[in-house]
Amino acid sequence: MRSTKSTVGATPADKAQYKAAVASAEAEYKSAKSACDTKTGNDKDVCIKEAKANLTKAKEDAKANRKSKDAMASAQHEKMDANYSVAKEKCDAMSGDAKSKCIQDAKARYN
């Protein structure tokens, strides 16, 4: 059976999408922070805090989205493993070439 570590399903595309979302959030933060330079006093402080809060929220959203995909992929793998186990058990009722073919078909379908 397959391992279901937290990295299951974390494809290179998922990682790239996560990194792109974080990079975009950081670019927006830099832009928003530089826009705060025109302000003074408490208005500037509030502006900077808002920019940081938006950065944090965007990063956390990206992280949650990635973890959600990992959780869905992990669940899918668990379902496939369970289905494979059932199919393999059904093959135990057979013998010889029929059993070999049954197991081969189960592996092809569920692995």
Average pLDDT over residues 7-13: 63
- Phi and psi of 66, rounded to 5°? -65, -45
What integer is the mean pLDDT of 16-30? 94
Residue 86 has pLDDT above 70, yes or no: yes
* The three-state (H, E, C) secondary structure of the chain, written as one string: CCCCCCCCCCCHHHHHHHHHHHHHHHHHHHHHHHHHHHCCHHHHHHHHHHHHHHHHHHHHHHHHHHHHHHHHHHHHHHHHHHHHHHHHHHHCCCCHHHHHHHHHHHHHHHC
pLDDT over 80 (residue 10): no
Q: Is the pLDDT confidence value at 40 over 60?
A: yes
pLDDT at position 5 is 43
Q: Point out the least confidently predicted range of 9-13, 18-22, 53-57.
A: 9-13
**4 or 103: which carries more pLDDT confidence?**
103
